[in-house]
A and B are shown apart, each in its own frame.
Chain A
Amino acid sequence: MDIIDRRPNPHGKNLENRRRVLDRARGAVQAAARDAVAAGKLREVGQGGAISIPSDALDEPSLHRVFSSGVREVVLSGNRQFSTGDKVQRPPSGKGGGGGPGQAGGEGKGEDGFRFVLSRDEFLDLFFEDLELPDLVKRQIATTDSLAVSRSGLSSEGSPSQLDLGRTMRHSMARRIGLKRPKPELVDSLEDELATLRGVTGSEERVAAIEAELVEARRRIRRVPWIDPVDMRFRRFTVTPKPTTRAVMFCLMDVSGSMTERMKELAKQFFLLLHVFLERRYKRVELVFIRHAEVAEEVDEDTFFHDPRTGGTVVSTALQEMLRVQEERYPAESWNIYVAQASDGDNTGADTPKCASLLRDRILPQVQYFAYIEIASSGAVIRGETDLWRGYRAVADAESRMVMRQVGDKRDIFPVFRDLFAKRTEAT
């Protein structure tokens, strides 16, 4: 009998099979992931999590019979009250049946479908598969101010700490062989032989030969060093500029009296989606929350979403605040800047032209992308278009970096988001 401890064996035997399932059910999994987000479980977007897909996406058919009509006999256990001849009411939808050997598939399937637990990365990959950040490349190449040290081959000089021992010894050995440096063992064996022969009569000739050989060997050993400076190899490093991979995202939201909680919730969903999306593309994403009514202020996330505020609306204050923060902390040369603004489109009449010019002249030249979503509902609608919408549209028409969409309902958030970031095929 053998006992074998298999516990240290390589794990994850089924990762490949798991990947194949995901591939096979890709369409269904993707739809389910997006539904989960659309259904408002957005907090989970960042975590990954469980999703269910309809089981027929992974159907394994087989030929098997089902009982539909006629007579069959079923033996059950646990009889407490029945006697022969009793009539039992038929249980709804064939309980106590089961229909024979139908369960070929094994566990993990239920009526509601097949459940996957996705890792965060898998989830986001599926989720954002066909989306991309617009206008990303241009700015990245332009802003390469941070430097990184990287390996770049070998050199024959350098500091001792960077000595590449393996290569140095390889060269040393090649040189020693090339110059026929005698091995120390050879010298040792000659000396041994000399010691045994010395004083033995009739071996003087041999002794003389060995002594001559020894002298020559010792001379060569002295002449040809073990390690010569020409053998030395050092690891070389060079400094290369690295493209910036950090981004800041400004969330601007109108918190005036006309924004209801529901509307704020919609805005929040949009912001969160954008945040997760940016996190996929950048190593570091910072968030700045700016809320405004008549005046604008930078606040933390919690206040931003939950602190009730009322008052009139002056949108330009938010834009100015955003500019102030940006100039102070996030210089455009080293940061990728994204702005998302959510509003109900309500604004003080005279302020809209000011906003438009701020956007056009000062903000858009600095940022990667400016997304404006207008949450449609309340009374600020004039012929279907709000004042702010019209003002912005004039800017957006001329600038591809600015996009604007209207959102009326939770369901719209994701389509709008996808619409904004869908991959474009050489459009501009």
Chain B
Amino acid sequence: MSDLLYRGAEWSFETIRRSYEAIERIAEDELKLDVYPNRIEVITSEQMLDVYTSHGMPLIYRHWSFGKRFVGHESAYRRGLMGLAYEVVINSNPCISYLMEENSATMQALVIAHAAFGHNHFFKNNRLFQEWTEASGILDYLEFARAYIASCEERYGVRAVERILDAAHALQNQGVHRHSGARPTDFRAEEARARERRDHEERVFNDLWRTVPTTKADKGPDGEAERRARLGLPEENLLYFLEKQAPRLAPWEREIIRIVRLIAQYFYPQPQNKMMNEGCATWVHYRIMERLHEQNRIDDASMLEVIHSTTNVITQPGYDTGGGPNFNPYALGYAMMSDIARICEDPTEEDRRWFPDIAGNGDAIGTLKHGWAEYRDESFIQQFLSPAVIRRFKLFRLRDDTEKPYLLVDAIHDAEGYRDIRRSVARFYDPSNLYADIEVVDVDLSGDRCLKLRHRTETGHLLDEKDAKATLKHLADLWGYEVKLLEVDRTTDSVLATHIASPPRVPA
């Protein structure tokens, strides 16, 4: 029994190191996981609150909204309304995992397996993360962003910086490239570029230019197609458009918008594969802990603790006990991962019918790893949500027609309902369902420079009016002129609603 990694609940750096090594052996030899180098940091609960505040990043620039988040979390935590996570992991290279100091030795081992191997493997291999984020530069870039914004605050005042940040934050959901140009940002180059540009501006600054009379800029209305091509319209990334085209922004203001935009872009994939990511990490940690137990590296008490805390995490409350249409990503993820493993190794007749490709192929780990690498939540569910899981969660579908006084149950967990339910669940995870489809369509260059936006949607799915008004005000503030947003029907192009905002009057 001297093989035990630790005894009791107390951890030390020695037990963490021993656990890590044992876990690493299993992860690499048996599961064949492919991970970034790991860095493990032990933090206190207060520091955990700080990490929560900055979206799980170790540092971020200063802004009141982070203070708001901090106060909210802190107050909920102090009142016992919210427990803190056992760990936070950062998609960076090296991959940083934060462990809470309150964790028991078992929990430290569990979260190492969960974060440092489960999440880490997912970060490194999932196509979405690979295409959209560059893990090696993010920490340096955040450092740069923080210093840059602080220096702007020093130069131009906290208020002036806050004005830009407030506006950019309001638009950050519309500040990502969703479709074209999927190319991870090279954060290092980004930082160098910003410095260079600033230097250049300072070098070429010549006050004389101000006195040169300007020529008549606009020569009448240009062709609409030509104008739109010149401005790169239509453009769905509002922050990108503002950064490049807004006429009245100072260079440092553009740089701040760029910072918010790039950080938003970095976070963009995360909600799209959260379910898979958590499912992958939970499945991996449970598998690893089970193996440790089989190898007699942890005792029965520890294994019970593992089972206990895993069960807590993967609980999916039913509709009548607080579960909404937002599934617990751990629950659904873990259920799907273990179901896929079961289908590969021990399929039923039904599985063979539904998943002829993988049923009984005997390679659970290979199949899962393929899934983790090539899919996102929506497509993963569409592909792999099996009747067995649907039955396990007792899923049913409600049709909510506001014309009718009742809700109709139109599919349940039975043979007729499986496909409908699977399609609906997948649709729920569809990114186009997460974000409003808004784009810049035109600018009245020869007239009042009014910026025209379009939200394509359908009746009954309009923007929240109050928020839209406030956000457009921010947008108008950055653009410098009037902004007009039309909500049009996706199929008929008829206008459903119009919002107009003008920039706040500033004394020139």
Contacts and interface: CB of A to CB of B under 8 A. Distances in A.
Contacts of B374: none
B17 interface: yes
Contact of A101 (B408, B434, B463): B434
Contacts of A100: 433-434
Given A64-B436, A65-B457, A16 B421 contact: no
A102 to B, nearest CB: 7
Interface in A9-37: 9, 11, 13-14, 16-24
A79 B67 contact: no
Contacts of A90: 405-407
Contact of A64 (B70, B327, B399, B467): B467
A96 B170 contact: no
A407 to B, nearest CB: 34
B332 to A, nearest CB: 9
A21 B68 contact: yes
Contacts of A85: 408-410
A405 B313 CA distance: 61
B38 A1 contact: yes
A98 B324 contact: yes
B486 interface: no
A213 B316 CA distance: 94
A63 B75 CA distance: 28
Nearest to A106: B69
Given A84-B414, A108-B76, A116-B71, A64 B464 contact: yes
Contact of A107 (B73, B321, B406, B409): B73
Contacts of A2: 38-40, 94
Interface string B163-183: 000000111111000000000
B68 A63 contact: no
Interface stretch (B276-284, B344-352, B390-398): B390-398
A115 B82 CA distance: 14
Contacts of B63: 17, 20
A58 interface: yes
A86 to B, nearest CB: 4
Contacts of B50: 13-14
B31 interface: no
Contacts of B172: 62
Given A7-B42, A16-B62, A62-B170, A89 B406 contact: yes
A80 B394 contact: yes
B40 A74 contact: no
Contacts of A4: 39-42
A7 B47 contact: yes
A202 to B, nearest CB: 69
A59 interface: yes
Nearest to B399: A73
A76 B324 contact: yes
A115 B498 CA distance: 35
Contact of A102 (B66, B417, B460, B464): B464
Closest 7 CB pairs of A and B: A108-B72, A78-B318, A70-B460, A17-B67, A61-B470, A21-B67, A76-B319
Interface of A: 1-7, 9, 11, 13-14, 16-24, 50, 58-80, 82-90, 96-98, 100-102, 104, 106-109, 114-117
18 contacts: A1-B39, A6-B42, A7-B47, A14-B49, A21-B71, A61-B467, A63-B170, A70-B459, A75-B398, A76-B319, A76-B395, A77-B316, A77-B317, A78-B323, A83-B412, A84-B409, A85-B409, A87-B407
Given A1-B116, A68-B460, 15 more contacts: A14-B50, A21-B64, A60-B169, A61-B470, A65-B436, A73-B424, A77-B316, A78-B318, A78-B323, A80-B394, A85-B410, A88-B409, A101-B433, A116-B75, A117-B75
